[in-house]
């Protein structure tokens, strides 16, 4: 997966095209990500009664997963949406690099 949790991404297709947000959760096996304030859906919840009070029912807006191919990583250095390459450092660890400005993005394990 080229996109990780807490990365800043831009949506490149779909109804939320052009939106930017932080990745909240990644589902690698499904190839999907949840992006903050992007692809909001309404969830109708029933009132919960039980121990310690209960939750109020109603309509809640929450983020839904979108496909990984619909988002593109935004480089924190140059601020542009970009592809990444993986570079092997001298100590054998891997790092992601921006294809546009050649800056290192993050260390991988």
CA angle 70, 68, 60 (to 5 degrees): 85
CA-CA-CA-CA torsion sign (48, 50, 55, 56): positive
| Alpha-carbon separation of residue 45 from 42, 49, 60 (angstroms) | 10, 12, 7
Domain boundaries in the chain? 1-74, 76-109
Q: Can you give the pTM of this predicted structure?
A: 0.85
* pLDDT, tens digit only, all 109 positions of the chain: 789 999 999 999 999 999 999 999 999 999 999 999 999 999 999 888 876 667 788 999 999 999 999 999 999 999 999 999 999 999 999 999 999 999 998 766 5
Multiple choice CATH, 1-74, 3.40.190.10, 2.30.30.30, 1.20.1740.10, 1.10.490.10:
2.30.30.30
């Amino acid at each position: 997966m080229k996109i990780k949790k807490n990365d800043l991404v831009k949506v490149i297709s779909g109804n939320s095209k052009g939106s930017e947000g932080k990745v909240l959760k990644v589902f690698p096996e499904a190839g999907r990500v949840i992006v903050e304030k992007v692809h909001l859906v309404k969830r109708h919840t029933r009132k919960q009664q039980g121990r310690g009070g209960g939750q109020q029912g109603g309509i809640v807006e929450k983020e839904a997963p979108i496909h990984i191919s619909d988002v593109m990583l935004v480089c924190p250095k140059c601020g542009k949406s970009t592809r990444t390459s993986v570079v092997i450092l001298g100590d054998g660890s891997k790092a992601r690099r921006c294809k546009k400005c050649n800056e290192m993005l993050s260390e991988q394990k």
